[in-house]
Chains A and B, each alone.
Chain A
Amino acid sequence: MNIINFRGGFSFSMKGGPDNSVTHANSSNKVALVPPRIPGFKAKVIVRVGDKVSLGQVLFYNKKNNDLKFSSPASGIVSNITYGNKRILQSIEINVANKKNSSYIKFSHENIDQLSKNKIVDNLINSGIFSKIKTYPGFDFIESKEKFLDDNKNLFISLFSSEPHIADIYNLFENKIYEKLFADGLIVCSKIFKTINIFNRQRDYPEEINECSNNLENVKLHTIENKYPAENPGLQCLLTNSLNKSTMNTYADAFVIIEIGHLFSKGFVIQERYLSISGSGVKNPTNFLVKAGQPIKNLLDDLVENLDSDYRLISGGLLTGKKIHTSDYLSDGDLSLQVVKEDRERTSLVFFRLGLNSLTMTRNWLSALFPKSEYDVSTNNNGEERACIQCGYCYDVCPTGLMPSLLMKSAIINDIEKMEYLSIDECIECELCTFICPSKIEMGQHIKNGKEFIKKEG
């Protein structure tokens, strides 16, 4: 199989990666459903405190789009609904019922082959899985059910992550049940998608998936160079030349396919989620299978010694993840929880050192000549923000061949024409340009603001 190569990118190697084992974490009897961590998301809650809810029951949906439903992570009684500023939903807490009293919403699953396309999509919407499939460009929810029913759409799935410390789905496939569920999910997806592109780094595909691709015409297997951001669906879209106005490109995490498989083979939504708890602040970084909606504090209690202001808690990868708090609950998009040191130490004369321990993509430090197998990283900014000096580093690393610094500048002055001329919507938000910028400019953020501006102006 040929390997897909791409320009730019970087292989990160840093301390605190998870090992290959998968552990079942203890579950708390209090879980919560949190809306996606997306600014501007408005939820319409359809349950009240005290209501009895079942596993997979819809608790709220997106005000702008009724098809984006979010379902209960457990069966139990709604104990609390918290709102933040401007009555933005923060979380819906549920006291989990014991095994005897638990219930779940049933979805039709008798025979996958006989289910109509419409029925499959209805099941996906009502179980809340539909909201876990996103589109590129835009990295947004799917606009409407009608659009989704359209035939011309691709699905991109990655079976690996080159971003540091995100749980590797292969470890889960050691358990054949999940591999089977994934294959089932693929069969369901193959009915509603034109093509399904599965990406993997240079290693063998699991048997079930190989078999799937042999049996199903529209499942394509790819092998891609293992460097960040190879798992980015936007990049995969570009590399497979799928970007096309008439085609909708969608992507989902590998675990979402397992969820789909579970929904259609067992008839109810899966309660587990798969993530890694890792980072330099964690004692034994490893992969976990946990019940959805767990309080994060519970998960981290045994693993992290003193989770105070010295450490930062990140949901997702180190480059694209979001800052979260210990009081939060596990959200569906969380593929990993990382604990990284907040390093405010004022090391002296750091610019004159050889830099054998400096993680760098440039050749400014000696570590470029003698790379270490693992770097200790912290959240230090490594400098202050300065004006752009046009060094061109961002051009070298951009995997899509865009012009980050020009995009950044046109985004700052809100020049829509220029931004669109430079194909701003094709930016895959991998944040490599921000990572490498020696002037420490928030390139990615500026470009995202530019995208927001275009969206707002229409």
Chain B
Amino acid sequence: MWDKIIEQAKSGEGFLSTQRSLLCAIDSFLRRPDLVTKRAPHIRDASDLKRVMVLVVVGLLPCTFFGIWNVGRNVYGSIGVYDCTFAEAFLEGSMHVLPLILISYTVGGMCEAFFAQIKGHEIAEGFLVTGLLYPLVCPPTIPWWMFVCGIMFGVIIGKEVFGGTGMNIMNPALLSRAFLFFAYPAQMSGDDVWVKKPFYENLDGDLVPCVWTTVKVDQINNYLCSKNIDVVSGQTPLALASELSSTNQGGDINNLINQEYSLSDMFLGYIPGSIGETSTLLCLVGACVIVLTNVASYQTILSVFAGGIIASLLFNSCSSSNTIDLFDISFKHHLVMGGFSFGAVFMATDPVSSPLHKASRWIYGLMIGMLCVVIRTVNPAYPEGMMLAILFINIFAPLIDHYVTIYKVNDRKRRYANE
């Protein structure tokens, strides 16, 4: 049955052939293609692009599951319920996160399939990763229509206009997010948009429970009746830091942040933020997966962290009474706040938009880490510097490669020179 469908899709006639890209992509994903080598080498390595992408998705899974749980926990927290069980939180989180993942894969996949069909290509498997990365860097509160606009922009402008996976110069998932960031700043960088409430205000000003929630009505009513319950504020640490720096009248900013969110909470990820990027610990677990399986380069990951540390130490050392308080934020805070670790592990290591040589990857990572802290520190309007830093340095990747190539060619000539 399935064989017949594929056969017809490939034949170029009938309705099914208009869906050839999509059907063949599904087919080759489920079953190894029946291609054999044409010439030497007659044998090929078992590794394949699909395998590489599947491994990145495996690396992302801890962050995803934690993100789902954390979103659910924050929803309960927003109405002052802190004793929800793991299952309750996870279920509630799934109600908010799974639709986003589904939309991302469906809409983005359809864009991919559309272009692949026009160009007569196969669908590239790179989207397997992009489709999961994108929801993980978005706030859980994002409206679905906005979310759809973002992924379409990322896939079409970020990737397909350049010629598809492998040709893009910037990371499509981050580009999608950058689009949202600049097009709908209120929804992306406000103060308390990062935690979803299980109810909303309708046009008459009444509070109505959301459709997509498992929180019980009496829990919401309980919260609405007693306004003085301590709830999750919904502010991300970065937004908090930015706000503190403008209001602070003295006192160490690191301590002020710690009053709200302790360093260990931020490291473990019990904070509001984008769905997948709150937990530094699980990003590191994912880093282990993709570095040990030879998918991502450890050079990039290490150097991004190194760059962040160097830049924040530099800022610390030149902070004075004239500089804003953000200069004082310690490197420990920088590394665990916002999307620093997620960006370092999953975004900066995207092979397509990062440079080729190992040496250039050190430079590239260092530049990302430093630029991120620079943006965060001296530009409080953009509290999340990681996204912009990565996109910016993506554009520099070919330049870094160019000079490293020249160096390596000369080095090699020197090594094999024989007069």
A positions within 8 Å CB-CB of B: 14, 238, 241-244, 312, 314, 316, 318-323, 340, 342-352, 355, 358-365, 367-368, 377-384, 386-393, 395, 401-403, 405-406, 421-423, 426, 431, 434-440, 442, 444-445
Contact = CB atoms under 8 A, between A and B. Distances in A.
A401 B352 contact: no
B28 interface: yes
Interface in B143-179: 163-167
Contact of A345 (B34, B126, B295): B34
A395 B42 contact: no
Which applies to chain B's interface (DSSP): helix, strand, loop or mixed? loop
B409 A421 contact: yes
Contact of B418 (A243, A323, A403): A243
A390 B356 contact: yes
A-B interface, 9 closest residue pairs, ranked by CB to CB distance from nearest: A387-B166, A358-B46, A383-B48, A363-B294, A381-B35, A319-B41, A346-B31, A344-B34, A364-B47
11 contacts: A238-B416, A314-B42, A323-B42, A344-B34, A351-B51, A389-B351, A393-B47, A403-B408, A423-B412, A436-B45, A438-B52
Contacts of A348: 30-32
Interface in B110-130: 122, 124-126
B356 A319 contact: no
A38 to B, nearest CB: 13
Contact of B45 (A405, A426, A435): A435
Among A347, A350, A421, the one with the most B-chain Cβ atoms within 10 Å of its Cβ is A350
Contact of B166 (A316, A378, A439, A440): A439
Given A319-B41, A363-B292, 9 more contacts: A14-B43, A342-B36, A344-B36, A351-B51, A351-B54, A364-B51, A383-B32, A421-B409, A440-B44
Contact of B412 (A368, A401, A438): A401
Given A342-B36, A344-B34, A395 B49 contact: no
Interface in B17-35: 28-35
B358 interface: yes
A431 B41 contact: yes
A320 B294 contact: no
B49 A381 contact: no
A196 B297 CA distance: 42
Nearest to B411: A401
B30 A349 contact: yes
A386 B418 CA distance: 39
Contact of B416 (A243, A349, A384, A392): A243
A427 B24 CA distance: 36
A381 B33 CA distance: 8
A445 B292 CA distance: 31
Contacts of A438: 45, 47-49, 51-52
A442 B39 CA distance: 9
Contact of A384 (B30, B35, B54): B35
Interface residues of B, number: 57
B45 A389 contact: no
A364 B294 contact: yes
Contacts, number: 201
A409 to B, nearest CB: 11
B42 A318 contact: yes
Nearest to A364: B47
Nearest to B125: A386
Nearest to B44: A382
B45 A347 contact: no
Nearest to B126: A389
A281 to B, nearest CB: 12
A311 to B, nearest CB: 11
A387 B48 contact: no
Nearest to B296: A391
B37 interface: yes
Contacts of B356: 390, 392, 395, 403, 405-406
Contacts of A322: 39-40
A387 B126 CA distance: 11
B50 interface: yes
Nearest to A432: B41
A259 B28 CA distance: 51
B246 interface: no
Nearest to B29: A351
A360 B45 contact: yes
Nearest to B164: A387
Nearest to A12: B43
Given A243-B418, A364-B51, A364-B55, A347 B32 contact: yes
B333 to A, nearest CB: 33
Contacts of B213: none
A347 to B, nearest CB: 5
Given A387-B166, A422-B409, A435-B44, A382 B418 contact: no
A383 B416 contact: no
B357 interface: yes
A406 B357 CA distance: 11
A244 B413 CA distance: 12
A321 B42 contact: yes
B124 A379 contact: no
B368 to A, nearest CB: 17
Contacts of B187: none
B64 to A, nearest CB: 17
Given A351-B48, A389-B49, A381 B418 contact: no
Contacts of A445: 39
Given A384-B33, A390-B351, A392-B356, A444 B418 contact: no
Given A438-B47, A445-B39, A383 B33 contact: yes
Contacts of A426: 416
Contacts of A361: 45, 47
A264 to B, nearest CB: 32
Nearest to B27: A346
A310 to B, nearest CB: 11
Among A312, A342, A362, the one with the most B-chain Cβ atoms within 10 Å of its Cβ is A362
Given A381-B35, A395-B357, A362 B409 contact: no
A234 B408 CA distance: 20
A436 B47 contact: yes
A438 B46 CA distance: 8
A423 B410 CA distance: 11
Contact of B41 (A347, A378, A390, A444): A444
B405 interface: yes
A92 to B, nearest CB: 26
B264 interface: no
B323 interface: no
B219 interface: no
B293 interface: yes
A351 B295 CA distance: 14
Contact of A386 (B38, B165, B355, B357): B165
Nearest to B165: A387
A344 B125 CA distance: 21
Given A389-B126, A422-B409, A380 B32 contact: yes
A322 B38 CA distance: 10
Among B38, B54, B412, the one with the most A-chain Cβ atoms within 10 Å of its Cβ is B412
Interface string B377-419: 0000000000000000000000000000100110011011011
A406 B405 contact: yes
A381 B416 contact: no
Interface string B54-90: 1100000000000000000000000000000000000
A393 B335 CA distance: 30
Contact of B43 (A351, A379, A391, A405): A379
